[in-house]
A = this chain, B = another copy of it.
Amino acid sequence: MARSTRPGIIDVARLAGVSLSTVSRAMNDNPTVDPALADRVKAAAAELGYAANPVARSLVLGRTQTVSVVIPDLANPTFQAILRGLSRAASADGYHVLISDTAEQVDEEAALVTTTRRRTDGVILCAPRLPQSGLSALLPSVAPAVVINRPPQADVPTVAADYGAATTELIAHLRSLGHRRIAFLSGVVASASGEARKRAIADASTSGDVEFVEIPAGVDFDSGAASADAVISSGATAALAFNDLVAMGLLSAVSTRGIRVPEDLSIAGFDDIPFAAYTTPPLTTAAVPSFEIGRDAWAAMHALLTGGEPTASAIFTPEVVIRASTGPVRNPAPQV
């Protein structure tokens, strides 16, 4: 029968015949304790199956060995990859991860960050939807914090992918294929990376020979599929989707309507999620190193936690991966 109540530090002290502070020291490998005694204490602890209560330690030490990660949507492959990279790295450093999914509820984001921060040592905000003003107000009160996929924030390390540069590269790719009218499926959700994309598009359209048709869409597969008709009737010969999910939804929907990709319509996405390489045709996209972003976000947090020098903001430039979903313009679609 397992003991119904776990052994406490006093039980170990009693068994080893020492004071409870000696047990504490021994268990924490404090060098000021006699080696022989330390062994005796550890043997007693092992015999009893004792391990210090982490909650009690947290209270007295003021740290929980846990960080909070707040994500807009656990169903998004990009965030999943970020979480995975983060979780693995934190685990390797002996830290635990408390995870929260805001389900894209912007108004609950701040509250979740604040609440979870109190039971952890720091919080990592993954692609927060909060407007800049709200973010600026929130961050100082929850330090240490790390922000993913937002522009550099005052006094807070940031790790992000440069969606603006990626957009520019993707546009250059499409232009080189002869596309002059491009549909842009913008995510309706307020996201910093979305703004960066729009800015890059604005730049390209003012300074170039290419025009854009913005089609408000969402951030998931279904919203991409729902935009199919709008894209088709837009007269665009190519579509730049908010992300791979949207691109795949669009690809799937236009295919069932008999539109050939890339002969009739070129489609490109962002992120390079796991299945982007296996759609039919395989998707051209800007590869965002999500796993690495998660890993680096942890590294920044770890530096903050261990008093290391504050990590500079890291920025990854996505690499455009050209696959078969984009091709040369054949017949410009008729203007509607």
Q: Which residues of A contact B (CB under 8 A)?
A: 2, 51, 53-56, 58-59, 64, 66, 74-75, 80-81, 83-84, 87-88, 91, 96-101, 103, 116, 118-119, 140-141, 221, 248, 252, 274-275, 278-280
Contacts and interface: CB of A to CB of B under 8 A. Distances in A.
A129 to B, nearest CB: 17
A106 to B, nearest CB: 16
Contact of A103 (B75, B88, B99): B88
Give the oligomeric copy count.
2
Contact of A2 (B64, B87, B140): B140
Contact of A116 (B56, B96, B101, B279): B96
Contact of A87 (B55, B74, B141): B74
B80 A248 contact: no
Contact of A118 (B54, B66, B83, B274): B54
Given A66-B119, A96-B116, A100-B91, A278 B80 contact: no
Nearest to A65: B119
Nearest to A80: B80
A88 B80 CA distance: 15
A96 B279 CA distance: 36
13 contacts: A51-B118, A54-B119, A55-B58, A55-B59, A66-B98, A74-B80, A74-B87, A84-B101, A88-B103, A97-B98, A98-B98, A221-B274, A248-B278
A88 B103 CA distance: 8
Nearest to A1: B140
A301 to B, nearest CB: 16
Contacts of A274: 75, 221
Contacts of A74: 80, 83-84, 87
Contacts of A141: 2
A297 to B, nearest CB: 15
A118 B51 CA distance: 9
B55 A64 contact: yes
Given A54-B118, A58-B58, A279-B280, 18 more contacts: A51-B118, A55-B58, A59-B59, A64-B119, A66-B119, A75-B81, A80-B80, A84-B101, A88-B101, A96-B116, A96-B119, A97-B99, A97-B100, A98-B98, A221-B278, A248-B278, A252-B278, A278-B279
Contacts of A119: 54-55, 58, 64, 66, 96
A248 B278 CA distance: 8
A118 B49 CA distance: 13
A98 B59 CA distance: 18
Contacts of A80: 74-75, 80
Nearest to A62: B55
Given A2-B141, A278-B252, A87 B99 contact: yes
